[in-house]
Structure 1
Amino acid sequence: MGCLSLRPSLRRALVLMATAFAMGLAFPRTDWEGIVWVALTPLIVDSLRQPIRQAFGWGWVFGTVFYLVLLRWLDFTFRTYSTIPWPLTWAVTLALAGYCALYVGAFAAAVSWLARRSIVGALCASPFLWVAGEWLRGHLFGGFPWGLLGYSQYLRLPVIQIAELTGVYGVSLVIVAVNAGIAGCFVLPWRPALGGVGLVGVVLGGTLAFGWWRLTAPAPPGEVNVAVMQPSIEQPLKFDPAFATTTVAIYLTLTSRAGADRPDLIVWPETAAPTPLRRDPELLRTLGALSGSLRVPLLVGSIDVDGSTPPKIRNAAFLLTERGIVGRYDKIQLVPFGEYVPLAGLIGFVRGWAEFIAELEPGSSASVFSGPPAPFGVVICYEGIFPELVREFVKGGARLIVNMTNDAWFGRTSGPWQHLAMYPFRAVEHRIAVVRAANTGVSAFIAPTGKIVRRVPLYERTTVAERVPLRTRVTLYSRLGDWLAYLALAVSGASLAYRAWKRAG
C-alpha cells in the first residue's frame, strides 16, 4: 500500500520537474521558446487540485528547477572568480533559484486557494497572479527581473510587439493565459472549457494581429551611424597593470579602425579604460586628440574615483570630444553581490569570497546625453533589464539607447545571450533603437521592432557599425509605464481579498 500511495506523488514530481526543466530551456541559448506556451499547464492543473500548502510546496519545487536550469551559467562565474570550491559553487545558484522560486510557490498557492471557491475564477486570475509575482520579484530587495516569462519570446517578433502597450509583462500575461486555457480543458466541463479556449484564442489572436500590423509600419525617418567595438579582453586582464598598455593599444587600434568610416558616434564597452579615466590625464589627452583627429565623439566606459575621503567609486560612462569630457552618466542600478553587498553590516563578510564583489556608489539621476549625434541614454551592464529605468531616459528625451556592458564574467555560457534577449523588449516598449557594446559579447544593434539586426559572436575582437533610426514617437508604455503590472497587482489583491471575505462570511 505504501508503494501505491507514493506513485501519484512520484508521477506528479516527475511531470512538474520535467516541465520546469523544459521551461528553463525556452531561454537562450537553447531557445526552445515554444515550450512556455504549455509548460505551466501541469503546475496550474496540480494547483487547482491540491491543498494550499501542497500547492505552494510543489510550486516552489517547480520554480527551483526552472531557475536552476535558467541560471546554470552562474556556476561558471563562481567556479572561476570565487574561492568557493566546486561543487559548493552550485549552492549559491541554488540559493538564488530557491529565492526566485518562492514567487512561483506563492502563485501556485494563490491559485489553489482561489480554486477552493471557483475553479473558473482561479483560472481567470492566474495570468494576473503570475504577472504580479514577476513585478514583485523585479522590485523587492533591489529587484532581480531576470528570466521573466515574456523574454523567452524575444525572437518571435509578432508576439512581442504588444510590449509597446504593456511592456514585457503583457507577453508574460498572454503566455500564462494560454496555459490557463489549456489547464481548463483538464479540470472543467466541456462547455466552460470550450469558452475558456475561445477567450484565450481571442487574446492570442489579437496579440498576433497587432504584432503583424505593427511590423508593417514604415521605419521612422532620421538615422545616425553608430560604431561599437568588441575588444574581447579576458576578465583577469582588464585591470591588470601589466596588461594596461596592451589594453589601451587594442582600444586605440579598434577606435581608429571604426573611425575610418566616419560614424557619428563610437561606443566602448563598460569599464573599458584600464585606469580611472579622470585620474589618467595622459589617457584623457590621447582620447581627446583621437576624437579630434577622427572628428567623432567617443563614449567610453570607465571606473570613476572622486576626491572625497574615503573616495567614492562609481561605474560611469563619459562622452569625449576634442574638448575632453563633455558629458557623463553614473550607473544607478548596481548589481547586488557584484557592485555592492545588500545588508553589508550583516553579511559584509561575503566580499572575501569572490574577486568580482565591489562596493560602488550608485548614481542619482538618469542623465541623457544631449549629443552628438542626437540625445541618447546609456544603460550600463544589467541596468537595461529594468524597464522603468530605460523609461526614465526616454522620458528625459533620449532618441537612442546605448547599452555598454562587460559580460566577460559569464564566459562562453548562456548568460551573455540571456542578457541580450531582454533588450529587444526595451526597443519595442519605446520604439527606440538599442545599440549594444559588450567587451566579450554579445554586441548588437536592435531595431525599434525588436529585431536583432546585427550581432557579434562571443569573443570575436572587432568593430561593427550600423545606421540606426532615431525615436520619433511616444508609445503607450512610454506614457504609462508598468500600468499592466499595477493592474495585475490590483486584480490579484482584489481576488484574494474577495476570497477571504467570502470565507469569513
Structure 2
Amino acid sequence: MKRTQRLLLSLFSGVLLSLAWLGFPGWILFIAFLPLLVIDKFFVDRKEEYRSVSFWGHAFLAVFTWNILTTWWIMHATLVGAAMAIITNSFLMSLVLWLAHMARRKFRSNLGYICLAVFWISFEYFHFHWDIEWPWLQLGNGFANNVKMIQWYEFTGTFGGTLWVLAMNILIFKLLVQLQERIANRERVISLVSMAVALFVPLIISWSMYAGYKEESKPKQVAIVQPNVDPYSEEYDMRAETKKRDNFLKLAASVTDNNTDFIVGPETVFENPGYWNEAELNSNGFVHSMKGFMNNYDHAELLFGVSSYKVYPNKAEATLTARTSQDGTSYDRFNTAIFLDRNGEEQIYHKSKLVVGVEKMPFMKYLGFIRDIVINIGGTTGSLGRQEAASNFVSADGTMVAPVICYESVFGEYVTDYVKKGAELIFIITNDGWWKNTPGYKQHMSFARLRAIETRRSIARSANTGISCFINQRGDVSQPTPWWQEAAISGSINANSELTFYVKHGDYIARAALFLSVLLVLLLVVKRFR
C-alpha cells in the first residue's frame, strides 16, 4: 500500500468519524474506524519493516480531521482556545490509537483488538475527570439524534454506545479480512453471526423499549424564555441590564398563566456580576421585580442565570480561585443559577463543570502563580468559582429540579448526581450564542436528549438563542425554537422519581475498562522487556 493511499484512508476515517456530529445518522460510526484498521493491519503485518510510530502519524491525521470538522466553531468564542482544544485532543486520541497499535504488534489478534476497545473507553473516561475535560467527541454521543436506537442508555449510559461502535468496527473488519483471505467458512459464519447479533440485538431491544415506554402522569407546566441577546455586542451597564430584565419578563408574560409551575430563563440573563452580590439578594432590585412578576400568577416559580460574586471575610476563608480587589477584599465570581420560590426564598447553584480556558484555568493548584498573566482566551482570566457537587432546587410543593448549566449537560454521570439527590425534572440553562450559527449549538442541544434517556427525566432547555425546547423521557424533542429569534414557549412535562440502572451505577463500563487497561498495559510492558 502506497503512502498516498494510507494518507487518503486516514482522511477518510476522520471524515466518517465526524459525520454523526454534522447531522448524519449515528450508524455511520459502525464503519468509521475501518480505514484506520486497514492501515493498522498493514503496519502490523510489516512490523519488521516499519516502526510503530509510522502508524501514529496516520492516526493523528485521522483524529485531527475528525476534531477540526466537528469542533472548529469554538474559534468564534476563542481562536487560541479552539486551536489548543483541537490539537491537544487530537494528540491524546492518537496516542491511545498508537498504544492499541503497539498492543496489536505484541498480542494475538483478538487480544489486540480488546486493547483497542478498553484503551479507548478508558481515555474517554479520563476525559470526563481530569482538569482539561473535553468529552464532546465521546463516541457514544454520536447517536444523540438517533434516540430510537439507544433507549438502553438507561442501563449503560453513553459508554455503552462507545463500546457498541468499537465492537461493530472490529467485527466488521475481521469479517472483511476473513473474506479477503479466504479463511475457513466456519470462522466466517461465526464472525457474520457475531456481527449480526452485536448489531440487531441492541436495536431490537431499543425499538421495543421506545415503543413500550410510558411516562407516569405527573405534569408540570413550564414556560421557557429565549431572550436572544448577542453576547458579542451585549452591554452591561444598569440601563442595559434593566432592558434585558424588561424584555425577559415581557416574553415570560406571553406564555405564563395561572397554571404555570415554573418559568425558566437561560444562563447569564444578567451578565454584570457587580449587580449580583450573593449576600444582598434580599435587597436586589432585579430580584424584587422578578418576585413582583411572579405574584401575578398562582403557582409560578422562576429559575434564571446570572453572573454573581461572593465576598469572603478574610483571605484565610477565600478559595483557590478567589480574586483580590484593589481594596484588598477577597471574592469569587460565579456562573450562577438562581431560583425564586413561592415562599419568597432565593436558592443558589454555582456551575461546577467549567469550560477550560474560558471559565477556568486548568491545574490552578499548581499554576496559580501565573493566573494574573494568563491570556484571556474568550471569557475571564483566572478561574470562576465553582461548587464541588451537584445540588437541586426545591419548589414550594416539594418538587426537586436539577439546575444544569450549559457545559454540565455533556457530563452524564455528573447529571445522575442531581437525580440521586432527588431531582424529578431537569432544567438546562445555556448561552449558545457564543458559537454563532454553527453545528456547535445543535450538537449541544442533542446531548441533552442523552441525559433524558439515561435518567428518564423530562427536560426543559432554555437557551439564550436557539435551541430552547422540551425533551421527554424517551429523548423526543418538542417545540424547538429557531436560531437567532426571541421566543417563549410553554408546555407540560412529567416529573419522575424512579431511578434507572445507570443513575444507580454510573459509568461502570468505563471503570471496568480502566481496570482492564491497567492489566493490559502491565502485560504489554512485560512483553516489551522480555
Give a deviation string over 1:113-169, Cα, whole Å, max 9, x none.
222231222224433232222112222234111121121211212322121111101
TM superposition score normalised by structure 2: 0.86
2:169 is matched with 179
Q: Which amino acid aligns with 1:267?
A: V
Give a deviation string over 1:438-469, Cα, whole Å, max 9, x none.
10121121111122233112112111112111
1:84 is matched with none
SS in structure 1 opposite 2:222? strand
Sequence identity percentage: 23
SS in structure 1 opposite 2:375? helix
1:307 is matched with 311
* Contact persistence 1:26–1:32 (CA under 8 A): yes
* Contact persistence 2:258–2:297 (CA under 8 A): no
Distance 1:357 1:420 in 2: 27
Q: Shift of the alpha carbon at 1:414? A: 1.2
CA RMSD of aligned residues (A): 2.2
Give a deviation string over 1:374-424, Cα, whole Å, max 9, x none.
211111110111122111101101111111111111111111111112111
1:362 pairs, out of 386, 393, 405, with 386
Query: Structure 1's 454 and 372: CA in aligned 2 closer, same or farther, altered over 3 A?
Result: farther
Q: Does structure 1 residue 11 correspond to structure 2 residue 5?
A: yes
2:349 is matched with 329
Q: Which amino acid aligns with 2:202?
A: T
Q: Which amino acid aligns with 2:287?
A: L
Q: Shift of the alpha carbon at 1:204? A: 2.0
Structure-to-structure mapping, 1:449-464, within 5 angstroms = 449-464=474-489
Query: What runs of 5+ residues in structure 2 fail to find an aligned partner?
Result: 44-50, 313-328
1:271 pairs, out of 259, 268, 271, with 268
Q: Does structure 1 residue 407 correspond to structure 2 residue 401?
A: no
SS in structure 1 opposite 2:438? coil
SS in structure 1 opposite 2:484? coil
Q: Shift of the alpha carbon at 1:426? A: 0.9
Q: Which amino acid aligns with 2:270?
A: A
TM superposition score normalised by structure 1: 0.90
Q: Shift of the alpha carbon at 1:32? A: 4.6
Q: Shift of the alpha carbon at 1:353? A: 4.8
Q: Does structure 1 residue 59 correspond to structure 2 residue 59?
A: yes
Q: Does structure 1 residue 425 correspond to structure 2 residue 450?
A: yes
Q: Does structure 1 residue 371 correspond to structure 2 residue 365?
A: no
SS in structure 2 opposite 1:226? strand
SS in structure 2 opposite 1:448? coil
2:202 is matched with 207
Q: Shift of the alpha carbon at 1:93? A: 2.8
Distance 1:104 1:340 in 2: 23
Q: Which amino acid aligns with 1:480?
A: H
Structure-to-structure mapping, 1:39-438, within 5 angstroms = 39-50=32-43, 51-78=51-78, 89=79, 92-116=81-105, 117-188=107-178, 189=181, 190-191=183-184, 192-215=187-210, 216-241=212-237, 242-260=239-257, 262-275=259-272, 276-277=275-276, 278=278, 281-295=284-298, 296-308=300-312, 309-321=329-341, 323-342=343-362, 343-346=367-370, 349-355=373-379, 357=381, 359-372=383-396, 374-438=399-463
Distance 2:227 2:406 in 1: 16
Query: Structure 1's 473 and 175: CA in aligned 2 closer, same or farther, altered over 3 A?
Result: same
Give a deviation string over 1:317-339, Cα, whole Å, max 9, x none.
11114654332211111111111
Distance 2:343 2:215 in 1: 35
Give a deviation string over 1:331-358, Cα, whole Å, max 9, x none.
1111111112223434753434545556
- The farther-off stretch of 130-139 and 355-364 is 355-364
Distance 1:58 1:170 in 2: 27
SS in structure 2 opposite 1:235? coil
Give a deviation string over 1:271-291, Cα, whole Å, max 9, x none.
112444455722111111111
Give a deviation string over 1:37-65, Cα, whole Å, max 9, x none.
21111112322332422222221221111
Q: Which amino acid aligns with 2:355?
A: V
Query: Structure 1's 136 and 44: CA in aligned 2 closer, same or farther, altered over 3 A?
Result: farther
Distance 1:361 1:138 in 2: 19
* Contact persistence 1:126–1:180 (CA under 8 A): no
Query: What runs of 5+ residues in structure 1 fail to find an aligned partner?
Result: 1-6, 79-88
Q: Shift of the alpha carbon at 1:196? A: 3.1
* Contact persistence 2:374–2:382 (CA under 8 A): no
* Contact persistence 2:121–2:513 (CA under 8 A): yes
Q: Which amino acid aligns with 1:19?
A: S
Q: Does structure 1 residue 36 correspond to structure 2 residue 29?
A: yes
SS in structure 1 opposite 2:345? strand
Q: Which amino acid aligns with 1:39?
A: A
Distance 1:354 1:187 in 2: 48
* Contact persistence 1:47–1:108 (CA under 8 A): no
Query: Structure 1's 265 and 410: CA in aligned 2 closer, same or farther, altered over 3 A?
Result: same
Query: Structure 1's 108 and 186: CA in aligned 2 closer, same or farther, altered over 3 A?
Result: farther
SS in structure 2 opposite 1:456? coil
Distance 2:38 2:126 in 1: 24
